Structure 1
Amino acid sequence: MEAGERGKKASSSPVEKIGTSLFHRLLDRRMLLNPKEEMKFLLHRLIYVAYISTELADKRDLGGYYERLFQNLQRRYQGDGISGLLLLYPSYVVHMIESSSDILFSVLRDLRSMQEHGHRVLLVDPRILIMSHDIPNRLFQQWSYEVLNLPANTLTDRSHREPTLTLVSESLTRLLKLGTHLLKCPKSSKASQDNLVEKVPELLLPQDTIGDLLEREELLTPHRYLEAYDSPLNIVMDSELVWPPPGHFQPI
């Protein structure tokens, strides 16, 4: 009996926990601080821009399309919350999505399929501004869309073009500030997101900027991004490059 008790005490001894990795210690701490927090996936953010198809009569149909797509994805990936904002300009879209990598890559595959198969094309020539991995928190409380009441864009002189890196950096800074602004708004008020053109016009990307981004070949399309993501990674290490080629030694 005493030996059994000693065995139980030994099994519960803190000495066994010395070998626990830092990852597991941080995981235990997060679970202790947020016992209801979903630990299933890390949070990622995708931001892309695209042209709106000229065949789309009502831009709100595009918002409805993504509402249905996200409902289907959430049934497939249960527990993976989706938040973000779809801004519908007269000719362009700016779409920010926060969720798991499974859902974000499903969105990219849907965009690729839309371009390749040409079945009811809603968006044309999308370009990815950024895919951010393991972000600390969400900027948006839920996913929604807004039709921006703006005049159609006019052609402008683009002889002087900023470097792509500068243009993307400035655009992302403005969009993240928009998300921070919306995060501070009351959760129960959807009206806080309405009329962004009047309330925070300085936080919206100008149409000229979006048009310029869509012409930058350096920005990856969903097809090129997924092609790189799905391709096998074959790296030849220096240690594998030997001379003479490896083989059996022949007796002299």
Structure 2
Amino acid sequence: MTYMAHNQKSSKKHFQVDPLLMPKVPRTNYMHLQEEKNRLQLKKFLLHRMFLVGHIKANIEKKEISEYYEQLFQSILKHHLGEAVTGLLLIYSSTFLHILETSNGTLFRILLDYVAREKEEKEFMIQNVKIIVASHNIPTRLFMQWHVSAIKVPVLYLEDVTQSQSLAEVTTDFLTMTHKLGLHLFKTVKVGAKGPGDNLHQVAPELLLPEQTIQYLCKSEEFMDPATFLNMYNRPIHVTLDSEIVWPAPSRF
């Protein structure tokens, strides 16, 4: 008994790790680096940017659309902790362009509200919405606030160039011009200001998209509507490994 007890004590000493042998270099991984980067930037959530286009119901005022979104943003922030929404909403005569910057959960709830209202209301003020692109984990915001601007483009800027361009070319021009417009507003609009106002066609006419471009993108079947996007978002991912495929198929007796 004494011999066995002595052996157990000696074995415990044998497996103890000497503190001097522990690695002195701290070990980390990519997730830790991302979390530290977000902490230094005071970011609680990953930031995403989404570009939307769509039609608006006839005889709808700019104030009605802006109030709908402002109430929606406030309601989401009350019930869902996330990043505040920044971006730009350009309202044309029959279409709109919307750029949103916020967390993934907030974007999900904005699209969810639109789908719900589209089913409940026969003629919702926003119609035929298409998601042009969604950029994930963007480093910084392009907009410091959420702005709304009504665009009254003169006939001089309504030349339709979509008839002679492919979808890829139209989409490239769309993203290029919207980013240039965002950079222009980032440099000119001060934090806390009301926004660019309704005279963008006078201040920066070369940076505004023609309404025909937005109409062209709304009709394109290549882009997903919010309902299709949400169905894909909620769809579980099933991965079949090669080891799961056996031939001949197993038979039971």
Regarding TM over 0.5, the answer is yes
Counterpart-to-counterpart distance in 2, 1:156 and 1:187: 34
**Residues 84 and 141, structure 1, Cα contact 8 Å, conserved in 2:** yes
Structure 1 residues 208 and 244, CA gap change in structure 2 (3 angstroms): same
**Residues 182 and 193, structure 1, Cα contact 8 Å, conserved in 2:** no
Could you report, residue by residue, the CA deviation over 1:22-41 in whole angstroms, capped at 9, with x for unpaired residues? 4324533553x44xx13x21
Q: Could you tell me which residue of structure 2 aligns to residue 21 of structure 1?
A: 29
Q: Could you tell me which residue of structure 2 aligns to residue 58 of structure 1?
A: 61
Q: 1:101-180 to 2 correspondence within 5 Å?
A: 101-118=104-121, 121-150=124-153, 160-180=163-183
Aligned partner (choices 233, 243, 246) of residue 237 of structure 2: 233
Q: Could you tell me which residue of structure 2 aligns to residue 222 of structure 1?
A: 226
**Residues 164 and 218, structure 1, Cα contact 8 Å, conserved in 2:** no
Query: Which ranges of structure 1 fall in alignment gaps of 5 or more residues?
Result: 1-9
Q: Could you tell me which residue of structure 2 aligns to residue 76 of structure 1?
A: 79
Matched residue of 1:131: which SS?
strand
**Residues 89 and 97, structure 2, Cα contact 8 Å, conserved in 1:** yes
Matched residue of 1:190: which SS?
coil
RMSD over aligned Cα, in angstroms? 2.9
Deviation of the 1:159 alpha carbon: 8.8
Larger Rg: 2
**Residues 52 and 98, structure 2, Cα contact 8 Å, conserved in 1:** yes
Deviation of the 1:208 alpha carbon: 0.9
Structure 1 residues 111 and 191, CA gap change in structure 2 (3 angstroms): closer
Query: Which ranges of structure 2 fall in alignment gaps of 5 or more residues?
Result: 1-18
Deviation of the 1:61 alpha carbon: 0.6
Structure 1 residues 190 and 219, CA gap change in structure 2 (3 angstroms): same
Counterpart-to-counterpart distance in 1, 2:195 and 2:145: 14
Q: Could you tell me which residue of structure 2 aligns to residue 44 of structure 1?
A: 48
User: Mean alpha-carbon deviation: is it higher for 202-211 or for 114-123?
Assistant: 114-123
Deviation of the 1:235 alpha carbon: 3.2
Counterpart-to-counterpart distance in 2, 1:57 and 1:29: 43
**Residues 51 and 125, structure 1, Cα contact 8 Å, conserved in 2:** yes
TM-score w.r.t. length of structure 2:
0.81
Amino-acid identity (%): 34
Deviation of the 1:110 alpha carbon: 1.6
Structure 1 residues 15 and 245, CA gap change in structure 2 (3 angstroms): same
Structure 1 residues 14 and 47, CA gap change in structure 2 (3 angstroms): farther
Could you report, residue by residue, the CA deviation over 1:192-226 in whole angstroms, capped at 9, with x for unpaired residues? 45521111111111011111111101111111111
How many residue pairs match? The answer is 233
TM-score w.r.t. length of structure 1:
0.81
**Residues 50 and 214, structure 1, Cα contact 8 Å, conserved in 2:** yes
Aligned partner (choices 242, 245, 248) of residue 246 of structure 2: 242
User: Mean alpha-carbon deviation: is it higher for 179-188 or for 161-170?
Assistant: 161-170
